[in-house]
Structure 1
Amino acid sequence: MGRWAPGLAALLAYRRVDLGPDLRAGLAVAAVAIPVGIAYSELAGFRPEVGLYSCVFPLLAYAVFGSSRQLVLGPDAATCAVIASAVAPLAAGDASAYAALSAQLALLTGLICILARFLRLGVMADFLSKPILVGFLNGIAITIILGQLGKITAIEAHGAHPVRAVLDLALRLGEAHPPTLLVALGAFGLMLAGGRWLPAFPAAVLAMGGCALAVFLLGLDLKGVKTLGIVPAGLPGISAVHLDPDALLGLLPAAGGLALVSFTSMMLTSRSFASKNGYEVDPDKDFAALGAANVVSALTHGFAVSGADSRTAMADAAGGRTHATALFAALAVALVLVFLTAPLRYVPTAALGAVLVMAGLSLVDLSTLRLIWRADRTEAAISILATLGVMGLGATQGILVAVVLALLRFVRLTARPRVEVLGRVAGMPGFHALSRHQSATAPEGLVIFRFNGPLVFFNAGHFRHALLDATRGTPPPSAVILDLLPVTEVDVTGLFALKELAVLLDRRGTRLVGAGRQTEWRNWMTQRGFNPDAFQIYPTLRHAVKGLAEPVSPPAEGPDGADTKAS
C-alpha cells in the first residue's frame, strides 16, 4: 500500500492529535478554493460549478495516491489557460463539444502521467529549468491579465490574440459599461483592503462576497452587470469519457505538454513545502497521483488539474499536518455544492475578472527574473523568450517553446563543456586550472587536460579541438594526461575520438594517458570492443605525473590496437 497508495497508508495510521489542525486547515483551504475554482473555471471556459467539481474529487484522489502531506490539487491558472487554448479551436463554439473535449484532454493527461510513473519519468520534474518555468508562468500570467480586461470593462473584444484584443479595447474605452467597471474597481479595493486589514481572511472570498452583496442590494444585475446566474446544486455523477479518434491528434500534444508543465510546477510546490516540514516526496508516485486526479476529474465532469501553490500555502499556514487536510477541504467544497449554491448567482463576472487579474499579478515573478539576470544573462534571455513564446503563440504552443528552449539549453551545456589545463599552485594540494590561478605552473613537459562533461557523439569534436589546442607549442609536450574523473560517460564516438587523438599525438612525439576511473574506463572499453590494456590509466593525477616524470618505454599499441606509442 505504501508503494502504490502512500496517502492511504498514511491515513490508515492517522492520529487523533492531528484532527483539529487538519480540520481547521481544510476549511481554510476550502475558503480559498471555492472563489478561485469559480474564477479559474471561467478562465478555462466553463460554468462555475465545473470548477467546484474539480476541487472535490481530484483532491480525494491525490489524498489517496500522493506522497506530499501538504499539497493541494485543483484548478490552476496555467492549466486552465492551456485548456482554453487547446480546446476552444477544436470545439468551434459548441458548448457540449467543449465539455467533451476538455474531459478527453483531462483523461489523456492523466493516462500520460500514469504511464510516466511506470516508466519512472519522475526525473521530468527537473526537465524545465527554473528560468524557463519562471518565463513560462510569467507569460501565462500576462496573458491571463490581458484576457480579463474585457470582463472588467464589459467591452466585447475583437480578435482572439490577447495583445490584439487589448489594443482593440484601448481604442474603445469609451464603450466601457460604468456599473461593471465600478464593480471591478470595488473588487480590487476589497482585495487590497482585505490583504492589509484582514490578512488571514481570503481576499477572493471578500471581493466576490462583497460584490455579490452589492449586486443583490442595488439590483445591479438589472442595470446590465453580468453575473454567474443560477448555479446547479448537487454533486456530479460519474460518466465514461469517450475518446474521439478525430480529436486525438489535436489533443495529444496538448495533453503531453499539460502533463509536463503541471507535473513540473506541482513538484516545485510539493518539494518546497516538504523541505520546510522535514520530509521527502516521491516524484514517481506523485506523477501517478497527478494522473489519477486528472482521470477522476474527467470522469466526474471536471477538467485537468495541477498542484495549487496558493491553496498549498494556505494549508501549511493554517497548520495542516497530513493528507486529511485535503479530505476536509474536499468535504467543505462538496457541502457548498449541495447546500450553498444559491448565493453564487449574484457573483458578478467583473469580480471574477478582478480576482483573476490579482491571481495573474501574483504569478508574475519579476524578482526571480532579476536574480536570474544578475546570475546569468543568457539564462535570463531564455526566460524572456519563454514569456514571449506564450504571449505570441498562446499557452499550448508556449509549452512547445519551453520544451525546445529546455532542449537547446541542455545541448548547449553538454555539447560545450568547460575545458581546463591544470597545474600546481604553491601551498595548495592537488592540481588547479591555470586560467584561474596566475601562479599555477604546469609540470615540465606535460599537459594535464580536464574535460568537464561526458565524452559522447555531440561533443567529441569539441573535445578533439580543445585537446589539440592545449598541446600546441614548441617543443610539443612529452605526454598529455587526461583527467577522467569529470568524464561521467563515454560512447563509441568518444572512444574513437581518443583513438584518433592517440595516433595524431604519437606522430608529434606525445603520449596520451588517463588518470582516474580505472575500472570504469576498462569496463567501457571492453564492452565496446576496445583493448582495455591499450590505454594506460593511472589511479590519480599525482600518480600519472610521478610515473611520467620517469623514463618509461612506449607501449606497443594505442586504444584501437594499432602500433603506436600512446598508452
Structure 2
Amino acid sequence: MKDRVLARLARIAPGIVAFVHYRREDLRHDVVAGVCVASVALPVGVAYAELAGFNPAVGLYSCMWPLVAYALFGTSRQLIVGPDAATCALIAASIAPLAAVGSPEYMSMSITVAFLAGVFCIAASFVGLGACADFLSRPILTGFMNGIAISIALGQAGKLLGFKIASTGVVGPLIEIATKIGQTHLPTLSVGLCAFALLLLLPKFAPRVPAALATLAAAACVTALLALDTHGVRTIGAVPAGLPSFVAPHFSFDTLDTLAVDAAGIALISFCSATLTARSFAAKNGYDIEDDRELSAIGAANIASALSHGFAISGADSRTAMNDMAGGRTQLASIVAAAAIAFVLIFLTGPLRFVPTAALGAVLVMAAISLVDITTVKALWHEARGEFAICIVATVGVVALGSLKGIMLAVALALFRFIRLVARPSYEVLGRVDGMKGFHSTARHPDARCTPGLCLFRFNSPIVFFNARYFKRTALDVVAETMPKPQWFVLDALAVTGVDVTGRHAIEELREELDQRGVSLVLAGRRTQRLDWLHKHGMDDVTAAQFHFPTLRAAVRSFHAAQRRDAPLSASTPRETQAQAQQQQQ
C-alpha cells in the first residue's frame, strides 16, 4: 500500500518521495550547499530585482518560495531556481510599455505574468509538451543569451556613470552615453570601478569567498562609513523587513491578452533555460530528469513566486553550479537556501539600504559577461554556417527588437531552415562497393557498381505534403539520368519514415508515370508495416502490395532471378518473382 502511494506521489511531487527516502549521510553536504547557494542568491536577487524594476525585497521574495516549490515538484537534484538575467530582461521589456516602472500596476502585472507563465507550464506538462525544450536549439539559446548580455551591459551603463539613459537597443544608448559623458558623477563611477575590481580580484585571490556578496557588503560598508549617499551616490534605499504575504493575481481584462502572450514567451524561455541547466548537471552526476515533470515544477515555482509578491523565475546557472560545487546531493539544499534567505529578510534587511546602485550595476555587468559564449559562436562558424547565422540573428534580434521579438525571429528562422531541409532533403542513388557490405551512395563512392537495368533510390525524409512534389520530380529526374534506362526503380522505404495522404498520392502518380515509360516501381523495406496498413484499411487485394520486398537485397535478388530466366522485366516481374525472393530470404 505504501509503495503504491509513493508511486502515485512520485508522478506529482518527486521531491517529496526523495525526502521520504532521504539519507542521513547527505544532510551535511546539503546544508553546506544550501548556505553557499543563499550567499550567491542574496546579491543576485537584489541586483536582478533592480534590473526588472522592482524593490530589492521583491528579488529576495522571488528567491525563496520558488526554491521550496521546485524542491517538492522537480526531478533535478542540483537545479536552483530563481531570478535570472534573461527572465528579468523579458519581464522589463514586456511590462514597461504597459505601466510605470515601480508603480503598483507594474507589480500587479508582473505577478499576473508570473502566475500565467506557471499555469501555462503546468497545462503544457499534461499534454506532454516537455519536449518543447528541444526546439530551442543551442545556437538559438547562445545567440539569445549573448543578446541579453549586451542589452544588460548597456542598460547598466547609466547606473555606473551616474546619469539616466533613456534610449534602447545598441546605437541609441551609445550615442546618448557619448553626448552625456560630461555629466558623469565621479563618486558613483568610483564606486562602480572599485566594485568591478573586487569582482575580478576576489575569484583569483579568495576563490572560496562569494564575490558578489562580498562586493555588495564592502560597498555598503564604505557607503555607510563615508556617507556617500549624501554626496549623490544613489543607494537601493530601505528594504521592507519580514516574510512576504500571499497575494492573489489581480489584472485588467484590457491587458490580459497582451500579458498572456508575454507570459507564454517567458514560460517557454524559462523552462527551456532551466531544462538545459538541469540536463547538464543530471548528466554530470549520473541520473536522468523527466522533461514533463520539470515543466510542471517550473510552473509551480512561478506560481509560488507570483503568490508571494515575486516575479517570473527560471533555472539559475551560477547558483546551480555553486550548489554542485559545494556538494549538494538532493533537493534539500534548495530548502536550506530558502530558509537562509528567509532569515535575512527577517533580521538583516537594515544594512541592505546602504548598497549603492553602482555596485549592483557592476554585479549585473559581470553577470552579463558570464552569459557571453564566444566559444560556441566560433565553433558554429567553423562547423555549421547556417546555425551560426541563426545564432547571430538571435543576438541582433534581441538587441535591436527586444527580447521576445528577437527570440521569436530566431525560432522562426530555425523552423524555416528545418522545413527547408525536410522539404528538400538529400537523396542517393545506391550501388555496391567492393569490400563493403550493403548498398552505398554512388556520389560518395565513385567506385560503386550499379546493376544495369536496376536503379536503387534512397529518399532521406518522410514523404509528406510539403515535399511530395519534390520527391516525384527528383525520382523522375534520376530515372531519366540513369543509363542504360532502368527497368526497375527500387525505392528504399526504410529511409522513408512516414507517408501522409499527399505522399501516397505522389507515389501512385510516380508509379503511373514510370509504367508509361516501361519502368516498374518497386518498394524495399517496411513491407510488413505497409501490409498491415492495407489490411487495416480493407485494401488487402491491392496489387500495389505485391510490388513490395522486405529488403533491398531481396529486391536485387528478385531482379537477378528474372534476368536469369530471361523474363521480360516489366511491371509484372516483381509479382512473379516475389515468392522466390522470399524463399531465398528464408
Does the pair score TM above 0.5?
yes
The one of 481, 489, 492 equivalent to 2:498 is: 489
The one of 179, 192, 198 equivalent to 2:187 is: 179
Contact 2:70 2:297 in 1 (8 A): yes
- Bigger Cα displacement from structure 2, 439-448 vs 29-38: 439-448
Q: Does 1:501 align with 2:516?
A: no
Q: CA deviation at 1:162?
A: 4.8
Gaps of 5+ in 2: 1-8, 576-586
Q: Does 1:108 align with 2:103?
A: no
Contact 1:150 1:156 in 2 (8 A): yes
Deviations 1:346-388 (A, max 9, x none): 1100011111101001001110111111111111011101111
Q: Count residues with an aligned counterpart.
A: 559
Q: How far apart, in 2, do the equivalents of 1:557 and 1:497 lie?
A: 22
Q: How far apart, in 1, do the equivalents of 2:310 and 2:161 lie?
A: 29
SS in structure 1 at match of 2:97 = helix
Amino acid paired to 1:311: R
Amino acid paired to 1:543: A
The one of 194, 197, 204 equivalent to 1:196 is: 204
Match of 2:309 in 1: 301
Match of 2:392 in 1: 384
- Bigger Cα displacement from structure 2, 97-106 vs 245-254: 245-254
Match of 2:432 in 1: 424
Contact 1:476 1:509 in 2 (8 A): no
Amino acid paired to 2:193: L
Q: CA deviation at 1:102?
A: 0.3
Q: After superposition, where does 1:26-65 map in structure 2 within 5 Å?
A: 26-65=34-73
Q: TM-score, normalised by structure 2?
A: 0.93
Contact 1:476 1:508 in 2 (8 A): no
Q: How far apart, in 2, do the equivalents of 1:413 and 1:235 lie?
A: 53
SS in structure 2 at match of 1:480 = strand
Amino acid paired to 2:276: L
Q: How far apart, in 2, do the equivalents of 1:495 and 1:529 lie?
A: 16
Contact 1:67 1:281 in 2 (8 A): yes
Match of 1:565 in 2: none
Match of 2:544 in 1: 534
The one of 470, 474, 479 equivalent to 2:478 is: 470
Higher helix share: 2
- C-alpha distance 93-52 of structure 1, shift in aligned 2 (>3 A): closer
Match of 1:563 in 2: none
- Bigger Cα displacement from structure 2, 17-26 vs 164-173: 164-173
Q: Does 1:545 align with 2:556?
A: yes
Q: How far apart, in 1, do the equivalents of 2:441 and 2:535 lie?
A: 32
- C-alpha distance 163-41 of structure 1, shift in aligned 2 (>3 A): farther
Amino acid paired to 2:498: E
Q: After superposition, where does 1:365-404 map in structure 2 within 5 Å?
A: 365-404=373-412
- C-alpha distance 34-499 of structure 1, shift in aligned 2 (>3 A): same
Deviations 1:19-59 (A, max 9, x none): 00000000010010000111111111101000000000000
Q: CA deviation at 1:450?
A: 0.7
Q: How far apart, in 2, do the equivalents of 1:288 and 1:325 lie?
A: 20
Amino acid paired to 2:312: A
Q: CA deviation at 1:291?
A: 0.5
Contact 2:520 2:571 in 1 (8 A): no
Q: CA deviation at 1:526?
A: 5.2
Q: Note the aligned Cα RMSD (angstroms).
A: 1.7
Match of 2:290 in 1: 282
Q: How far apart, in 2, do the equivalents of 1:211 and 1:63 lie?
A: 33
The one of 115, 124, 131 equivalent to 2:132 is: 124
Q: How far apart, in 1, do the equivalents of 2:166 and 2:537 lie?
A: 63
Match of 2:525 in 1: 516
Amino acid paired to 1:517: R
Q: CA deviation at 1:328?
A: 0.4
Q: How far apart, in 1, do the equivalents of 2:208 and 2:550 lie?
A: 62
Contact 2:54 2:102 in 1 (8 A): no
Q: TM-score, normalised by structure 1?
A: 0.96
Amino acid paired to 1:406: A
Q: CA deviation at 1:542?
A: 0.8
Q: How far apart, in 2, do the equivalents of 1:322 and 1:521 lie?
A: 49
- C-alpha distance 198-94 of structure 1, shift in aligned 2 (>3 A): closer
SS in structure 1 at match of 2:561 = coil
- Bigger Cα displacement from structure 2, 175-184 vs 467-476: 467-476
Q: CA deviation at 1:336?
A: 0.5
Contact 2:84 2:313 in 1 (8 A): yes
Q: How far apart, in 2, do the equivalents of 1:209 and 1:276 lie?
A: 33
Contact 1:149 1:166 in 2 (8 A): no
SS in structure 1 at match of 2:10 = coil
Deviations 1:163-215 (A, max 9, x none): 31232112221111000000000010000001111122221112111111111
Match of 1:223 in 2: 231
Deviations 1:126-152 (A, max 9, x none): 011111111111111111111110110
Contact 2:82 2:315 in 1 (8 A): yes
Q: CA deviation at 1:417?
A: 1.6
Contact 1:516 1:541 in 2 (8 A): yes
Match of 2:249 in 1: 241
Contact 1:147 1:162 in 2 (8 A): no
Q: How far apart, in 2, do the equivalents of 1:35 and 1:475 lie?
A: 75
Contact 1:71 1:270 in 2 (8 A): yes
- Bigger Cα displacement from structure 2, 70-79 vs 160-169: 160-169
Q: How far apart, in 2, do the equivalents of 1:209 and 1:266 lie?
A: 29
Q: How far apart, in 1, do the equivalents of 2:19 and 2:414 lie?
A: 38
Deviations 1:523-565 (A, max 9, x none): 4455567665414211111111111122267557999xxxxxx
SS in structure 1 at match of 2:490 = strand
- C-alpha distance 153-508 of structure 1, shift in aligned 2 (>3 A): same
- C-alpha distance 529-75 of structure 1, shift in aligned 2 (>3 A): farther
Amino acid paired to 1:42: E
Amino acid paired to 1:130: R
Contact 1:502 1:558 in 2 (8 A): no
- C-alpha distance 18-150 of structure 1, shift in aligned 2 (>3 A): same
Q: How far apart, in 1, do the equivalents of 2:430 and 2:286 lie?
A: 41
Q: Does 1:328 align with 2:333?
A: no
Contact 1:490 1:524 in 2 (8 A): no
Aligned-pair identity in percent equals 52
Deviations 1:293-317 (A, max 9, x none): 1111111000000010110000000
